[in-house]
Structure 1
Amino acid sequence: MWSLIRAKKNDIKRETNTTLLPDEPEEHSAERWALIGASAKGANKISCQDSHYIKQIDGWSIMVVADGAGSCPKSRLGAKYAAQRIGTLLESLAKSYHVDLPDEKVFEAQIVLRFLKVRSELEFFATKKANANLNDYSTTVIALLVSNEGHILCANIGDGRAGFRTKEGQWQALFAPLKGEYANETHFLTSRNLCRLVQTSIVKASNVDAVVALTDGLENYAWNISHFDERSNRVIQKNEPFPDFFNPLIESLFYGSSNPNDTLNQFLTDNPIIKQEIDDRSLVVAHLGHF
């Protein structure tokens, strides 16, 4: 499952099966936002319970990743529906941000309403159509809106990671994932107390050139989560994207590949280290550059 979308700044167009050339940009060539997304099943798994959604519309890039709970029998459907439906709902939200960005409280209220709507739709389908339980469709969600100017609006429920890079090369996380009381436990879109669990953040910046979101099946390879501090003799929790993971990957995807779609898909499925990961993995990447 993968897709590629490219867009010119201030002149959004949807394109597929295009080639990003590694040539040097012309002196006056415009910068473009490019979007790539892929999901891959974990080692020895029959199907992938992750899903993703990407689209560009009216000067905004929409990015969603969803990770279905492995212990829930219909979580693959829950993740797929949540990613597609929330992505669609974000389209209408993006269209309302023509002039000014909302403040965080307004954005939080708008996002919570949309997450609740999708939860309600899943519950109706589960109980009225599928003779199932809502929790059978449990899934995490990370949703991002990225403006052509580089502003970022982020919302999430559960684990996974998201971050951005500045044009100066600095990487920063957008949120700390929501973990449960026990190891490997998290929260889901189907949670009863969803309203209190949704996290939101807004980054107002003009120097962002890359934004990423991924499910937790990739975080041990792409994120600095913790390290052992010898001085204090304890584990220090961290939340930092690995520049050595993302920088060469972005360079390879957007400047060194004649088919970025296949390159990302093959990376998630065939990389000799990552392919041993038993958890499903999704990655969406937005990059601003000269293509």
Structure 2
Amino acid sequence: MRTVYVNGEYLPETEARISIFDRGFLMADGVYEVTSVLDGKLIDFDGHAVRLSRSLNELEMKNPISKEDLLEVHRELVRLNEIDEGLVYLQITRGSDGDRDFAFPAPETEPTIVLFTQNKPGLADSPAAKKGAKVISIEDIRWGRRDIKTVQLLYPSMGKMMAKKAGCDDAWMVEDGFVTEGTSNNAYIVKGNKIITRALSNEILHGITRAAVLRFAREAQMEVEERNFTIDEAKQADEAFTTSASAFVMPVVEIDGVALGDGTPGRVAPRLREIYLDEMRKAAV
């Protein structure tokens, strides 16, 4: 049985409780982060902590825990649950003042903070990464502040299910003719020696893995162009991939039924995955 963390307490998962009036439950009024664990250590914890703080600030939500204490909670949960490879999920909501109201509760209302682990043996050596993912395109109808990592994930969840019903792995969302991102990842195409991905804005999540991968790509003398691209351009690309904290760098081998290259992972994505895993393992805490 997992040990989880709820509002300052380590508890068996069966004893964890939050209020039915919690605004995360009623209003999706909360933010989250997912940090990977490799070799029992946290990958890019600082990046996730910085983005968490930004998300909270954008929503004018109190941060109930210091970065140092948050790191200690992550490490303790990894220890208690004996996680070698896996994930630590963190969620902070605006809490509850004992009833339901559209207006924010009084400022003194304490946020709710929850963390739990997921054990994922083989996370780094994923068979899916060797095979590559197939994606479909869907219309992006989410709200306009995707840069805030909120818990309102209904449409991305529906998009993932649309992909599964089509016999694929994921969906890339399209707005005004251009790809925004995947349901739970940032999206990239490769043409020649150039990596192309949408620039940061309110329209996409500022991926922590994205930032690291682009940094490593530039250090490896790969050309990076941050601009919009269409699904049609993606179908004509030499290869494509996604990045996320839970899947690292994932090659994409098919878009809307069109195979990229010979339909297997190309040269760039596997190399970036290798570099990312090597470098992040060295820097893990």
TM-score (norm. length: structure 1): 0.28
Higher RCO (CA 8 Å, separation ≥ 6 residues): 1
TM-score norm. by structure 2 comes to: 0.28
